[in-house]
Amino acid sequence: MIGVLALQGAFAEHESCLDRLGQEFFEIRKREHLDRSMDALIIPGGESTVMGKLLRDMDMDSILKERILGGLPVFGTCAGLIVLSKRVVGGSTSLGTLDVTTIRNAYGRQLGSFETVAGFDGKEIPMTFIRAPYVESVRPGVKVLSEVDGRIAAVRQGNQLATSFHPELTEDLTVHRYFLEEVAGVM
Amino acid sequence: MSEDRYKLNKELAQMLKGGVIMDVTTPEQAKIAEKAGAAAVMALERIPADIRAAGGVSRMSDPKMIRGIQETVSIPVMAKVRIGHFVEAQILEALEIDYIDESEVLTPADDVYHIDKTQFKVPFVCGARDLGEALRRISEGASMIRTKGEPGTGDIVQAVSHMRAMNSAIRDIQNRREDELYETAKQHRVPVDLVRFVHDNGRLPVVNFAAGGVATPADAALMMHLGAEGVFVGSGIFASGNPEKRAAAIVQAVTNYNDPAKLAELSYDLGKAMVGINAEEIQTIMAERGQ
């Protein structure tokens, strides 16, 4: 059972990916929803400032942080990467469990949004970047899974996977499959 | 505009889903909105309620004011242009605005033609009262739709009726036979391809928000129940007694629209709501602009 953080943003798109992979999921909109047991968590794209505020206002941040540090497999895309990052340039930190430095809105405004094809864990896949961040640097223990034009676009630190692009917006399920198989071990 | 660009523009709207887009008139208000959890801000010179009160011609905002807001917040910044005023839109594109609202709140510049939005790289959101209007705007290149509602009134009745009209027309199309879609397209005055999309998918091909008259957390939740994917709040926040608290409450109400106990808590002691005007008592019907 996968929990999908559904406070704001493109969570429905992730749910559709999970559907296609035959995975069951539930939406997390408030603290009580965290009482349900889950095998893994997805933090979707959206606005990281909104998600950060709602996590704080609804008292969900410390419990999630504790669970992720305790080994709960988590996958963050775009805003989800920012929410997980320990250091954020141009924004504030939220859960801060992933030992990387991330630059928010690193490609500028909407005119800087783009699509490309690039390698992820050795496989070429389509990638969509929307007002995207990128990872400026990683600490030891964090593995870089993808770089686009010399900028880090995907990282993994043990149970945590994060991408600066949106795999949930393309038909390609490589990254979701990687998360469910390699990181969460539920497939 | 290339197909890729249009897709990216629709996808930015997808990232705003479940969020609240707030009208702001100064960098200070923009900061308050961002802190309260706005997913984006709409920069404009006067909120709709004041535009309504002042009368006269209402135009695109001064680029200086828009720049000021862009420099203050890190969330997407939108701004309005008059219906049909493609030069105002070119100016906003030059400012690298994140989204242009071709809006009936401003005085229309063209009483026949809307902007050919396919000629722009930046995305457009447009208002609609029914499915035909929504699909016409989409065929002109809009990558996001919102109900028109009746701006600046604090009266939710028009937004409700527009959202219901859109969704009941969508359900109607879903139930039609394939060979009836040509006639349906004619009735709605829209391309048959868009009607076919609605028939096959049961929704608009772009994200659809509620706008026009949202004043309380309950209003926002009501619109989410009726099928909105997020809400615009115009005058409802900064014309109220406690903008910070009301803004934050509306943000949470959109996430928890299905949780009455939470909504009760959110509605508690918000201070004075915007006074509001009954949508039937007003003289300028903004929703009738640009069909």
Give the pLDDT mean for B275-288.
74
Is the pLDDT confidence value at A75 over 90?
yes
Nearest to A45 among B15, B121, B248 (CB): B15
Is the pLDDT confidence value at B1 over 70?
no
Give the pLDDT mean for A127-142.
96
Is the pLDDT confidence value at B141 over 70?
yes
pLDDT at B261: 96
Cβ pair A9:B8 closer than 8 A: no
Distance from C-alpha of A177 to C-alpha of A125, rounded to nearest angstrom: 13
Which three-class secondary structure state does DSSP give residue B56?
coil
pLDDT at B273: 80
Catalytic residues of B: 80
Domain of residue A107: give its range: 2-183
Look at chain A and report how many structural domains it folds into: 1
Give the pLDDT mean for A138-151.
96
The more confident residue out of B183 and B240 is B183
Distance from C-alpha of A17 to C-alpha of B94, rounded to nearest angstrom: 37
Is the pLDDT confidence value at B244 over 80?
yes
Q: What residues does B102 pair with on adjacent strands?
A: B81, B126
Share of chain B above pLDDT 90, in %: 81
Which three-class secondary structure state does DSSP give residue B27?
helix
Encoded amino acid at B49, one letter: A
- B148-180 pLDDT, tens digit each: 988 888 899 999 999 999 999 999 999 999 999
pLDDT at B154: 85
Cβ pair B18:A91 closer than 8 A: no
Is the pLDDT confidence value at B194 over 90?
yes
- B84-135 pLDDT, tens digit each: 999 999 999 999 999 999 999 999 999 999 999 999 999 999 999 999 999 9
pLDDT at B289: 87
The more confident residue out of B275 and A154 is A154
Asked if B37 contacts B57 with a C-beta cutoff of 8 angstroms, the reply is no
Q: Residue A48 maps to which CATH number? A: 3.40.50.880
Kindly indicate whether the ipTM for this predicted assembly is greater than 0.90, answering yes or no. yes
Report the chain A residue with the minimal C-alpha distance to residue B93: A111
Among B6, B11, B265, the residue to mutate for chain A (most A Cβ within 10 A): B11
Closest among A34, A126, A121, A52 to B8, alpha carbons compared: A126
Q: What residues does A125 pair with on adjacent strands?
A: A118
Report the chain B residue with the minimal C-alpha distance to residue A129: B8
Tokens coding A96? 């801060």
Q: What residues does B291 pair with on adjacent strands?
A: none
pLDDT bucket at B275, cuts 50 / 70 / 90: low
Catalytic residues of A: 78, 166, 168
Q: With contacts defined as CB-CB under 8 Å, which chain B residues touch A57?
A: 37, 248, 252
Provide the shortest C-alpha distance from residue B122 to chain A (in Å).
6
Is the pLDDT confidence value at B277 over 90?
no
